[in-house]
Amino acid sequence: MTPPLLQVKGLARHFGGLAAVKDLSFSVEKGQIVGLIGPNGAGKTTAFNTISGVLPPTRGRVVFNGQDISGQRPSIIVAHGLARTFQSTTTYADASVEKNIEYALLSRIRGSAPQRLMRRSSHLLGSDQIGEEINRIIGIVGMQAWRHAEAGTLAYGLQKKLGIAIGLAARPSMLLMDEPAAGLNHEECNELTRLLRQLRDEHDMTILLVEHHMAIVMEICERIVVLVHGEKIAEGTPEELRVNPAVVEAYLGAPDYAHA
Ligand SMILES: Nc1ncnc2c1ncn2[C@@H]1O[C@H](COP(=O)(O)OP(=O)(O)O)[C@@H](O)[C@H]1O
Ligand SMILES: [Mg+2]
């Protein structure tokens, strides 16, 4: 049996006296979409930050693709193939969609300063391959019609798509997505669901998804990890969690769910 792509082992992150994440362990198999859910303040974003290198863990280990990446810098973790999608605010508002993607590709350009610095050797691009790679990414997220549009003028749903495109520019094998459906309308949520499925089924992507929108989580996640007050209270398939009394009480029955 192949080991899981991502293994989180006894992860903890404290802020002064507050244990935002406590002894968290779970794993994600290659090709799965796994949900990480829990009420506001449960520690989901903190878990993401410690996994992706934005914050060093207080304790515990993160193993990705068989390698211990705990406490590494984000750029190194991305180079291992574990990327995070960005919020719309991280795009260059004055630049076009294709320029934003081009900037995100810089670290993969052969001989470029970031590539030399990171000694990244996989998925390198020659300068003559950049256009083709931009086309590939724009095609995946379906933004052909907006490639010359200024990022700052895009509707909110399209800005979020551009954030996913920028994450894909690192050519990751796994994406950590923090609330990609937040602020999207019904049709945009359906599109996002299709895109996530397509990433998994056609582009070999493994996804860890933090999301409040329960319909999306229940529909596309193979497994779900439930966090409450920094602790994992349950883990299972959507069908198992729907009837788990602790989950229903702690989360699914909460107002967050009713309004999602
Ligand atoms: N940088 C920080 N400094 C201090 N406390 C933080 C910081 N980030 C998060 N917290 C606290 O950690 C807890 C978990 O927050 P967070 O991970 O953002 O939860 P979630 O994403 O599940 O809503 C909250 O009590 C929050 O106030
Ligand atoms: Mg959060």
The enclosing domain of 180 has a CATH number of: 3.40.50.300
Same structural domain for residues 31 and 103? Answer: no
Q: Domain range spanning residue 50?
A: 1-81+172-260
Same structural domain for residues 178 and 158? Answer: no
Bigger pLDDT: 39 vs 110? 39
Is 40 close to ligand 1, i.e. is its CB under 6 Å away? Answer: yes
Distance CA 201, CA 222 (A): 13
In a domain, 86, yes or no: no
User: Which residue has a Cα nearest atom 9 of ligand 1?
Assistant: 46
Cβ count within 10 A of residue 15 = 11
- Nearest-atom index, ligand 1, CA of 227: 22
- In the reported structure, the alpha carbon of residue 40 is separated from the centroid of ligand 2 by a whole-number distance in angstroms of 7
Handedness of CA 88, 93, 97, 101 (dihedral sign): negative
Nearest to 8 by CA among 38, 39, 42, 36: 36
Last residue of a domain, one of 171, 203, 221: 171
User: Which residue has a Cα nearest atom 11 of ligand 1?
Assistant: 20
Same structural domain for residues 151 and 37? Answer: no
Same structural domain for residues 192 and 250? Answer: yes
- Alpha helices (H) in the chain, listed in sequence order: 44-52, 74-79, 97-105, 113-118, 130-141, 156-168, 186-203, 214-220, 238-242, 245-247, 255-259
pLDDT surpassing 70 at residue 56: yes
- Nearest-atom index, ligand 1, CA of 210: 21
Helix (H, G, I), strand (E, B) or coil at 176: strand
- In the reported structure, the alpha carbon of residue 229 is separated from the centroid of ligand 2 by a whole-number distance in angstroms of 12
pLDDT surpassing 50 at residue 260: no
Same structural domain for residues 161 and 196? Answer: no
**What is the model's pLDDT at position 120?**
61
Is 43 close to ligand 1, i.e. is its CB under 6 Å away? Answer: yes
Q: Which DSSP symbol is given to 249?
A: I
- Nearest-atom index, ligand 1, CA of 42: 22
**What is the model's pLDDT at position 76?**
87
Overall residue count recorded for the chain in this entry: 260
Confidence of residue 246 (pLDDT cuts 50, 70, 90): confident
pLDDT surpassing 60 at residue 255: no
Same structural domain for residues 131 and 212? Answer: no
Same structural domain for residues 24 and 147? Answer: no
Is 36 close to ligand 1, i.e. is its CB under 6 Å away? Answer: no
Same structural domain for residues 20 and 63? Answer: yes
**What is the model's pLDDT at position 194?**
96
**What is the model's pLDDT at position 166?**
92
Q: What percent of the chain clears pLDDT 70, i.e. is strictly above it?
A: 90
User: Which residue has a Cα nearest atom 6 of ligand 1?
Assistant: 15
Q: Which of 24, 46, 256 has the most ligand 1 atoms within 8 A of CB, as the residue to mutate? A: 46
**What is the model's pLDDT at position 82?**
95
Average pLDDT, rounded, for the chain: 90
Tokens of 251: 């989360």
User: Which residue has a Cα nearest atom 3 of ligand 1?
Assistant: 15
- Nearest-atom index, ligand 1, CA of 230: 14
pLDDT surpassing 60 at residue 15: yes
Same structural domain for residues 47 and 157? Answer: no
- If you search the block for the tokens 């788990």, which residue do you land on? 244
- Nearest-atom index, ligand 1, CA of 49: 17
Is 38 close to ligand 1, i.e. is its CB under 6 Å away? Answer: yes
**What is the model's pLDDT at position 259?**
44
pLDDT surpassing 80 at residue 83: yes
Q: What is the mean pLDDT of residues 22-48?
A: 96
Same structural domain for residues 183 and 113? Answer: no
Same structural domain for residues 155 and 212? Answer: no
pLDDT 10s digits, 101-122: 999 888 787 777 666 666 666 6
pLDDT 10s digits, 133-168: 999 999 999 999 999 999 999 998 999 999 999 999
**Cβ(138)–Cβ(101) under 8 Å?**
yes
Confidence of residue 224 (pLDDT cuts 50, 70, 90): very high
Confidence of residue 79 (pLDDT cuts 50, 70, 90): confident
Q: What is the mean pLDDT of residues 189-208?
A: 96
**What is the model's pLDDT at position 249?**
84
Distance CA 11, CA 25 (A): 7
Same structural domain for residues 166 and 179? Answer: no
User: Which residue has a Cα nearest atom 7 of ligand 1?
Assistant: 15
